[in-house]
Structure 1
Amino acid sequence: MKWTKEDLQQYSEAKEYVDTAIIPLLPFQLSDDANLEHNAFQRDMITLFTRELEKELTGRVVLTPDFAYLATADKKTEMDRLHTWVSDIRSQPFSYIFFVTLDSDWKTREEELEGTLLWLQSAAFESIKSNELQSFMRSQVQEITKLIRSYWKKV
């Protein structure tokens, strides 16, 4: 379920079946001209990936709004902010929380996360609309879908 009025109405009616939250982690730094396009492309890729993932797992997952953070901000501060999000999410019956990012900095802090990090390696594509990227994303979604389902089977 996406973060839309219609999907959240469905979520409210079927909370007992929805046990997984997916949180996109996205860097933002408007003052960093050198990385503006790179950060925007990361957002495009994460958005494409998480929407396709949500489609594959519809009925059991909620795709939260993006967790945007300043790329140069203190990671401890951003981690505290993220923990606040997770605390609120856990107040609902969410058993599984997955964070999706292309930013390798999160990989170095993975043990501090209160959930599972899905770190996608960035691909060198010219456009989000390229056929190669679409094919790459489909294969990534299939792999991550299998991974998430394996977590569900552990219970």
Structure 2
Amino acid sequence: MKWNKADLAQYLEAKEYIDTILIPLIPYQMSTESELEKNAFQNELTTVLANDLEKELTGRVMLTPSYYYVKHATKEEEIERLHGWITEIQKQPFSHVFFLTLDASWKKHEQVLKGTLLWLPGMKSGDLHSAEMHRFVRDQVDQISELIRSYW
């Protein structure tokens, strides 16, 4: 289920079955021109992965809006903001919280996150419409889905 009116109406009718939340973590920055394309690609790839995961796990997973953060902001501040999201999320009966990211800098802080970090050492660039990329995404979705199911 996604964060839209139709899916949220379905969620309210069947929320006892939807026990997992997925939060895409996406870096944003405009200050370093050499990083603009890489960050935009990470945004696109993370969004594709999150949407495909939501489709694969429909009926158990709620996909939140993406959490955007300034790449060079302190992770402590971002973790505090994320924990605010988690506090809000836990007002519903979600048992499992997963954070999806391609940004390796989150790995250093995963122990303090109130959820499970799914870090993918993804590609830095490419063509999202290529057959190679579709295979990569499909393979990642299969593996991550299996991992999430192991928590259930």
Same fold (TM > 0.5)? yes
Cα deviation digits, residues 13-70 of structure 1 (max 9, x gap): 1111110000000000122211111111001100110111000100111000000000
When the two chains are superposed, the root-mean-square deviation of aligned CA atoms in Å is 0.9
Moved beyond 4 Å, runs of 4+: none
For residue 84 of structure 2, what is the amino acid of its counterpart?
T
Question: How far off its partner does 1:90 sit?
Answer: 1.1
Rounded Cα–Cα distance in structure 1 between residues aligned with 2:64 and 2:32: 26
CA distance in 2, matches of 1:90, 1:65: 16
- What is the 5 A alignment of 1:56-75? 56-75=56-75
Cross-structure match for 1:5? 5
CA distance in 1 between counterparts of 2:28 and 2:105 reads: 14
- CA positional deviation for 1:126: 2.1
Structure 1 unmatched ranges of 5 or more: none
Alignment of 1:4-153 (within 5 A): 4-152=4-152
Query: Given residue 31 of structure 1, which amino acid in structure 2 is its aligned partner?
Result: S
Alpha-carbon contact 2:41-2:125 (below 8 Å) kept: no
CA distance in 1, matches of 2:126, 2:100: 21
Runs of 5+ consecutive residues of structure 2 not aligned to the other structure? none
Distance 1:21 1:127 in 2: 28
- 1:89 and 1:38 mapped to 2: Cα distance? 30
1:72-108 superposed Cα distances (whole Å, 9 cap, x missing partner): 1111111100000011111110000000000001011
Letter in 1 for 2:98: F
Once the two structures are aligned, what percentage of the paired residues are identical?
53
- Tell me how far apart the structure 2 counterparts of residues 124 and 24 of structure 1 sit (CA, whole Å): 17
Cα distance in 2, alignment partners of residues 114 and 4 from structure 1: 24
Q: How many residues align?
A: 152
Check the 8 A contact 2:42/2:124 in 1, yes or no.
Answer: no
Would the alpha carbon gap of residues 4 and 83 (structure 1) be closer, same or farther in structure 2, given more than 3 Å must change?
same
- The alpha carbon displacement at 1:125 in A equals 4.5
Question: Normalised by the size of structure 1, how large is the TM-score?
Answer: 0.95
